[in-house]
């Protein structure tokens, strides 16, 4: 999405130094710094907290948030809009609202840009926006500040190439997620470009079953009506497939889906057919992979309980929670407020069912080790707040944490 003119910006405004102090005050964390100094491990009394070595804000998130701050600083007297949430963290989005940035939220028909004028400034989030949204805003003539993550742009290039070459983009992701909607829309750059979104291996199996002639056309179209191009025809558009993914999905599952579909195509049509009509690339972003790898490393010496901090609508955080839940007792909390030291309870959400629950005496009794990680949209100060509440649950004064 390039538009080389004076109203489109992708590299900020050169105001990093002007906003750096505010960013540090809003999001840095003393307790996280303390954990780093102590080799990501802190013991006070009978409680030990171990922090995964990769956690929290990634480069793409830092960049998006910084550019939003730069934008507000650059245009103090203009109305500034944000298309949806900048990232999936309620505290960061509320901070932007407090700065006078109006967050546009989608309705049943998508985003309504009716109030946007040429004099306004519009920020695009780290997830990106659809081709239609981008074109609508460019036609408005307003200033557009594009914070789309570079890792997301890399996936867009793959999907665009698939559409250009006549392949259907099979996207591992959540069809309703902002990033996946934006990624899927890239096929519209070419006439007849087509996409299909699958959530997991079970849905990938629906694809291979159909390829093998064991699927029901009407049932397939009904099930994937919201997850496919409007003109999608499984009898036509599953003949040539290129696999991509939402960058924040569980990496091993994305790779497994690609291998599974490719193997099925070879079994049905032969290796020569697969070579000509199937493509797959690992498009999980490095930050997502690094955080998943760090959790796996921490779990080699399993803690008694695992705490995952991040927005309940944060895909990469949900992936981390699911990974942890396979190995140890795990609690996914949106922020430190989910931990109530006075009552000894924790409010958490199950990564599979999506149900929120309250658990009493979640730390158990006696010596306990708590593993900790956080999604890529969770700032350090919120991680530190959670650590303080973990210790406070056992009556340990935060002042004793160094």
CB 163 within 8 A of CB 229: no
H-helix or E-strand containing 392?
helix 380-393
CB 42 within 8 A of CB 35: yes
3-class DSSP state for residue 85? coil
3-class DSSP state for residue 302? coil
CA 124/CA 137 separation, integer angstroms: 10
Sheet holding 195-198: strands in order across?
A: 195-198, 168-172, 241-245, 278-280
**Contacts (Cβ under 8 Å, ≥6 apart) of 324:** 295, 299, 306, 308, 330, 371, 373
CA 88/CA 103 separation, integer angstroms: 13
| HSE-up (13 A, CA, CB side) for residue 96 | 29
- Distance of CA 140 to CAs 98, 116, 136, 283, 304, Å? 26, 7, 6, 33, 55
For residue 179, indicate whether it is catalytic. Answer: yes
CA 309/CA 321 separation, integer angstroms: 9
CB 201 within 8 A of CB 194: no
Q: Which of 85, 160, 179, 334 is catalytic?
A: 179
Positions marked active-site:
179
């Amino acid at each position: 999405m390039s538009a080389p003119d004076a109203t489109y910006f992708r590299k900020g405004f050169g105001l990093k130094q002007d906003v750096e102090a505010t960013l540090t005050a809003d999001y840095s964390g003393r307790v996280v710094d303390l954990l780093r100094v102590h080799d990501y491990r802190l013991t006070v009394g009978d409680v030990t907290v171990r922090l995964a070595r990769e956690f929290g804000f990634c480069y793409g998130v830092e960049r998006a948030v910084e550019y939003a701050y730069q934008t507000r600083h650059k245009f103090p007297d203009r109305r500034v809009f944000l298309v949806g949430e900048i990232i999936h963290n309620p505290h960061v989005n509320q901070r932007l609202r407090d700065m006078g940035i109006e967050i546009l939220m989608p309705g049943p028909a998508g985003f309504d840009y009716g109030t946007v004028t040429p004099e306004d400034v519009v920020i695009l989030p780290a997830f990106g926006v659809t081709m239609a949204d981008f074109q609508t805003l460019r036609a408005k003539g307003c200033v557009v500040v594009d914070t789309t993550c570079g890792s997301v742009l890399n996936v867009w290039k793959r999907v665009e190439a698939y559409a250009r070459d006549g392949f259907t983009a099979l996207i591992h992701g959540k069809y309703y997620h902002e990033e996946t909607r934006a990624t899927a829309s890239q096929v519209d750059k070419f006439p007849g470009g087509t996409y299909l979104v699958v959530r997991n291996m079970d849905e990938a199996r629906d694809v291979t079953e159909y390829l093998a002639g064991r699927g029901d056309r009407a049932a397939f179209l009904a099930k994937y009506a919201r997850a496919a191009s409007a003109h999608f025809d499984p009898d036509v558009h599953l003949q040539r497939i290129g696999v991509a993914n939402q960058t924040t999905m569980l990496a091993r599952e994305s790779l497994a889906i690609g291998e599974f579909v490719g193997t099925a195509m070879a079994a049905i049509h032969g290796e020569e057919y697969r070579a000509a009509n199937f493509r797959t690339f690992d498009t999980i972003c490095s930050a997502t992979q690094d955080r998943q790898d760090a959790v796996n490393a921490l779990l080699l010496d399993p803690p008694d309980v695992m705490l995952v901090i991040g927005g309940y609508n944060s895909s990469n955080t949900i992936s981390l929670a699911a990974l942890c839940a396979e190995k140890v007792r795990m609690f996914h909390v949106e922020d430190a407020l989910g931990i109530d030291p006075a009552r000894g309870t924790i409010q958490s959400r199950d990564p599979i069912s999506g149900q929120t629950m309250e658990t009493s005496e979640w730390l158990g009794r006696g010596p306990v080790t708590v593993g900790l990680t956080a999604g890529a949209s969770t700032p350090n100060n919120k991680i530190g707040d959670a650590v303080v509440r973990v210790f406070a649950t056992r009556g340990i004064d935060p002042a004793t944490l160094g």
